């Protein structure tokens, strides 16, 4: 069984003694620190840190911790959050017709590679209903047109709220979410796309890339923001292409990367290893 732990993430102006202050506070209250990662950003004079610690000996419960830690954080002008690892996160998947990322995440969840509950999958098409229900997961078909988008997103938000969803993953969901949805889940909606944007935007990017004779293809996982495909990047990978590769080879290699990169980003988010500040991520991997 996993040891009960919690994760403290902080971002604040850089100063002397922050690491000692954090670890000293935890030790004073009986916590055993398992991991402590930090980063200083000299360009912005900022400091960030992730500390994971055992909670068995901690003399502060969920209600008492903020009251005890708050004055320390205020003194150092900290933005901070505490995540209890025993709180199993709840993730919703949104998908359209392409199923490669969907299958990958459902299989990883089934075999325990990602520690998360998936109460349901939402799609704007009905094609993947049998695929999803075959995993024992609820499937919601929410079709959308330009005329029905507002109503469809109200239904989407109702489902997310009712099921207490912590993170939303766009597993090749080919719709642009409105600001009303994005603003409700800041840094909690993860998207995956091919790595050609903006050079090969629009339809059939792999065909465009093939026509230009590209030497690499890639994939990018990022948080969704109001600006399309411009959110903070969590994970990226590339792989080589040569003159022998066909369009089908590019598509296959691209999909392999999309699966791997999206799964990596999801795992990092679930493990509370990503800090976001000014549209940039610090990833403690």
Instruction: Give me the active site residues, please.
Output: 229
Which of 47, 51, 37, 108 shows the shortest CA–CA distance to 85?
A: 51
Structure tokens at 151: 């109503």
Which residues fall within 8 angstroms of residue 5, CB to CB, at 6 or more apart?
34, 52, 53, 54, 55, 85, 86
- Residue 271 near residue 118, CB atoms below 8 Å: no
- Residue 245 near residue 215, CB atoms below 8 Å: no
What are the φ/ψ torsions at residue 3 (nearest 5 degrees)? -70, 140
Q: Tell whether the torsion through CA atoms of 33, 37, 42 and 46 is positive or negative.
A: negative
Give the whole-angstrom CA distance, residue 18 versus residue 47: 9
Distances (CA, A) of 77 to 27, 73, 215: 21, 6, 46
Give the whole-angstrom CA distance, residue 201 versus residue 198: 5
- Note every long-range contact of 107-113, with CB atoms under 8 Å and residues 24 or more positions apart, other chains counting: 108/263, 110/135, 113/263, 113/267
Give the whole-angstrom CA distance, residue 180 versus residue 96: 20
- Residue 255 near residue 247, CB atoms below 8 Å: no
| Partners of 50 in the β-ladder | 9, 37
């Amino acid at each position: 069984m996993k040891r009960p732990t919690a994760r403290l993430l902080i971002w604040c102006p850089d100063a002397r003694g922050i690491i000692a202050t954090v670890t000293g506070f935890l030790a004073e209250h009986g916590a055993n620190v398992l991991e402590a990662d930090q980063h200083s950003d000299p360009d912005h004079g900022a400091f960030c840190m992730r500390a994971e610690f055992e909670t068995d000996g901690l003399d502060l419960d969920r209600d008492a911790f903020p009251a005890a830690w708050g004055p320390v954080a205020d003194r150092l002008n900290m933005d901070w959050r505490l995540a209890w690892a025993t709180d199993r996160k709840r993730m919703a998947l949104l998908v359209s017709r392409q199923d490669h990322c969907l299958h990958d995440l459902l299989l990883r969840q089934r075999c325990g590679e990602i520690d998360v509950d998936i109460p349901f999958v939402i799609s704007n098409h009905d094609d993947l209903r049998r695929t999803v229900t075959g995993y024992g997961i609820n499937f919601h078909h929410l079709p959308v047109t330009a005329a029905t988008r507002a109503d469809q997103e109200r239904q989407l938000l109702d489902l997310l709220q009712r099921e207490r969803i912590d993170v939303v993953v766009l597993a090749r969901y080919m719709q642009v979410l409105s600001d009303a949805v994005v603003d409700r889940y800041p840094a909690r909606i993860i998207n995956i796309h091919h790595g050609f944007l903006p050079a090969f935007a629009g339809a059939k990017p792999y065909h465009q890339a093939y026509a230009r004779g590209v030497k690499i293809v890639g994939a990018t996982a990022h948080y969704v923001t109001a600006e399309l495909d411009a959110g903070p990047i969590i994970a990226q990978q590339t792989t080589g292409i040569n003159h022998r590769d066909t369009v089908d080879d590019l598509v296959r290699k691209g999909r392999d990367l999309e699966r791997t990169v999206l799964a990596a980003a999801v795992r990092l988010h679930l493990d509370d290893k990503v800090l976001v500040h000014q549209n940039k991520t610090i990833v403690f991997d």
